[in-house]
Structure 1
Amino acid sequence: MFISSAFAQTAPAAAGGDAQSSLMSMLPLVLMFVVLYFVMIRPQMKKAKEHKAMVDALAKGDEVVLGGGMLGKVTKLGDVYIGVEVAPGVEVQFQRMSVVQVLPKGTIKPL
C-alpha cells in the first residue's frame, strides 16, 4: 500500500526540463575534466616534448646527467643508445632517453 501511494505522489517531468536537468548534472563532470586537462595533462605533455627535443639535440662532447645521477661526457651517438665517458678511459652505454639534463660545458671537473 505504501509503494502505490509513493508512485501516485510523483509528478511527471516536463519534456524540456528533463533535458536541461541532465545537462546541468553533467556540467560538473565536464568541468572537472577541463580542469584536469589544464592542470595535469597539458603541462606533462609540454615537459615530455621539451625532454624529447633535448635528447634529439645531444651532440658529442656534451656533459650530461643520467637518470641514476651519473655524470659523464657524450662520446658516441646512436639512434637509441649513447656512449658516455664517466671516468677517463671508462665508457658506458646508456639509452638516449635516460639523459635527464645537459650541463654547461666545463661543469664536470676531473678528479
Structure 2
Amino acid sequence: MNLSQLFSIFTAAGQAPTASSYIMTFVPLALILVFFYFFIIKPQKKQEKQDREMRDSLEIGDEIITNGGIVGIVTQIKDDTVVVETGGDRSKIRVMKWAIAKVVSDKDEENEKEKA
C-alpha cells in the first residue's frame, strides 16, 4: 500500500457525522429511558401512592404492622404520628406514619383461611 491509499482509508473512516448517525446514536438511549420509566419508575410511583392512601385511611382500632415488625392496634392518630397499643400488658408506643407497612384487616385473615 502506498501513502495515498492509507490516507484515503483514514479519511473515509473519519468522515463528519451526519444527522442519521446522530439519530442512530440516541435511539438506544431513548429506548433505555422508556424501559426505565415503564418498568421501574411508574410501578414505584404507583406503589408509593397506594402506601400513602393506606396511611391516610388509618382509623382508630385498625390492627397494623410496622416496618420493624411491631404488631399493634391504633389508639390515637395525629398529623404524622400514630399511637399503637401492643402486647398483652397494653403498652403504648408512638410511631411515625411512614413506618407503617401494612394494615391487617379481618378481610385479609378470612381470605387467608379460605386459601388454606
Taking structure 2 as the reference length, what is the TM-score of the superposition? 0.78
Taking structure 1 as the reference length, what is the TM-score of the superposition? 0.81
SS of equivalent residue, structure 1 residue 75: strand
Q: Which residue of 2 aligns with 1:92?
A: 93
2:45 corresponds to which letter in structure 1? M
Gaps of 5+ in 2: 110-116
Percent identical pairs in the alignment equals 33
Aligned-pair distance for 1:83? 0.2
User: Number of matched residues?
Assistant: 104
Gaps of 5+ in 1: none
Matched, 1:55 2:58: no
Aligned-pair distance for 1:103? 0.5
Aligned-pair distance for 1:6? 5.0
Alignment of 1:1-111 (within 5 A): 6-9=6-9, 10-11=11-12, 13=15, 18-87=18-87, 88-105=89-106
Aligned-pair distance for 1:76? 0.5
Q: 1:61 to 1:26 in 2, by over 3 A?
A: same
Runs of 4+ in 1 over 4 A off after TM superposition: 3-8
Aligned-pair distance for 1:7? 4.9
Residues 41-73 of structure 1 show CA distances to partners (whole Å, capped at 9, x for unaligned) of 111010000000000000100000011111000
Aligned-pair distance for 1:13? 4.5
The structure carrying a bigger helix percent of its residues is: 2
2:102 corresponds to which letter in structure 1? Q
Aligned-pair distance for 1:104? 1.1
